[in-house]
Amino acid sequence: MDDVVEVRELLFLDGELFEKKIPLRSLLYAEGVFETFRWKGSPPVYFEKHLSRMKSGAELLSIPFPTEKNIKNFVEESVKKSNIADAYVKICLLSSGPTTFYEKAEKEHLLTIIKKHNAQKERVRAHVASFRRNSSSPLLRIKSMNYLENVIARREAKTMGYDEPIFLNQRDEITEGGTTNLFWMKKNVLHTPSVNCGLLPGITREALISLAPNLDFEVREGRFNLEDVLSSDCAFLTNSLIGVVAVTAIDDHKINFDREIYIKIRDALFHKLGWIS
């Protein structure tokens, strides 16, 4: 009698046996991390910080991590093949392995998405998301592929005619935007929610905080409510693709726009990011 080989697991896609190797754990559980940034003719100034944050996220999710040198070479080669001088770059670290949800990934996969970087609006309007964030979630402090809250909130904002959602946490403290960190000025003090409120510690957020003393601004990180932003002298959103843009309204509430302060911050930040000379 022939030996019977026990099949450990079969996968079917649209009714057909699915044998192609794919990062199943990322597909099934959104287990993965990513980074996005602008590549303007050369690697971003804070490339190492992006990779360091990606590595921290991979460690939290127990995903094997390639060497930083391999990632850099992979991304540089991908950008070179694209022939795009000013590019939007997204690096995704995906995982494959057992399909049982609590088991750990066995292998990592790198995916890059490269497209033309589009100029951003100078001013945007935001909408407070209809649901609250849990400030204790460990996923808020990494760039996880589990992005569904952000997807839902951005779609909600867009449907209502706004550009970006703003999240509040379970204590109704303001936290961050859908893809951005939030700042506002009040009496020459630059305010931003603390990481403990439940938000991603952005690379550009860190850059702007470090710049503030050179611009003669005091920085105050803390716990704030929506009214603090609405009564500000001006408000901004930051990330590694847009740099900084002004927020001129949150829902039906208009926010002051001090162009002089905005230009001062924008030019200093863009210079630090290597986007202008």
Gyration radius of the chain's alpha carbons = 21
Q: Can you tell me the mean pLDDT for 244-270?
A: 96
**What is residue 22's predicted lDDT score, i.e. its pLDDT?**
82
Q: How many domains does the chain have?
A: 2
Mean of pLDDT over the chain: 93
- 86 and 39 part of one domain: yes
7 located within any domain: no
- 139 and 108 part of one domain: no
9 located within any domain: no
2 located within any domain: no
Owning domain of residue 90: 17-116
Boundary of a domain, candidates 81, 116, 151: 116
- Assign 151 a pLDDT band (cuts: 50, 70, 90): very high
Question: Is the pLDDT assigned to residue 7 strictly greater than 90?
Answer: no
- 135 and 266 part of one domain: yes
Boundary of a domain, candidates 86, 116, 146: 116
**What is residue 8's predicted lDDT score, i.e. its pLDDT?**
60
Question: Is the pLDDT assigned to residue 2 strictly greater than 60?
Answer: no
> Would you say 235 and 245 are in contact if contact means Cβ atoms under 8 Å apart?
no
Boundary of a domain, candidates 97, 116, 135: 116
Question: Is the pLDDT assigned to residue 5 strictly greater than 90?
Answer: no
- 111 and 127 part of one domain: no
- Assign 19 a pLDDT band (cuts: 50, 70, 90): low
CATH assignment of the domain containing 89: 3.30.470.10
What is the tens place of the pLDDT at every residue in 91-104? 999 999 999 999 99
- 58 and 171 part of one domain: no
- 74 and 135 part of one domain: no
- 103 and 157 part of one domain: no
Of 20-34, 165-179, 257-271, least confident by mean pLDDT is 20-34
130 located within any domain: yes
231 located within any domain: yes
Does the CA dihedral 207-212-213-218 come out positive or negative? negative
What is the tens place of the pLDDT at every residue in 158-211? 999 999 999 999 999 999 999 999 999 999 999 999 999 999 999 999 999 999
- 135 and 248 part of one domain: yes
- 144 and 72 part of one domain: no
Three-state SS sequence of the chain? CCCCCCCCCCCEECCEECCCCCCHHHHHHCCEEEEEEEEECCCCCCHHHHHHHHHHHHHHHCCCCCCHHHHHHHHHHHHHHHCCCEEEEEEEEEEECCCCCCCCCCEEEEEEEEEECCCCCCEEEEEECCCCECCCCHHHHCCECCCHHHHHHHHHHHHCCCCEEEEEECCCCEEEECCCEEEEEECCEEEEECHHHCCCCCHHHHHHHHHHHHHCCEEEEECCCHHHHHCCCEEEEEECCCEEEEEEEECCEECCCCHHHHHHHHHHHHHHHCCCC
12 located within any domain: no
33 located within any domain: yes
Count of positions (residues) in the chain: 277
- 184 and 91 part of one domain: no
Predicted TM-score (pTM) above 0.85: yes
- 57 and 158 part of one domain: no
- 128 and 64 part of one domain: no
Share above pLDDT 70 across residues of the chain, in percent, rounded to a whole number: 92
**What is residue 119's predicted lDDT score, i.e. its pLDDT?**
86
10 located within any domain: no
- Assign 20 a pLDDT band (cuts: 50, 70, 90): low
Q: How far apart are CA 141 and CA 249, in angstroms?
A: 26
Query: Kind of pairing, strands 189-193 and 218-222?
Result: parallel
Of 43-47, 82-86, 157-161, 246-250, least confident by mean pLDDT is 82-86
Question: Among 240, 52, 57, which Cα is nearest to 144's?
Answer: 57
Question: Is the pLDDT assigned to residue 111 strictly greater than 60?
Answer: yes
Question: Is the pLDDT assigned to residue 235 strictly greater than 90?
Answer: yes
CATH assignment of the domain containing 268: 3.20.10.10
Of 8-12, 37-41, 176-180, least confident by mean pLDDT is 8-12
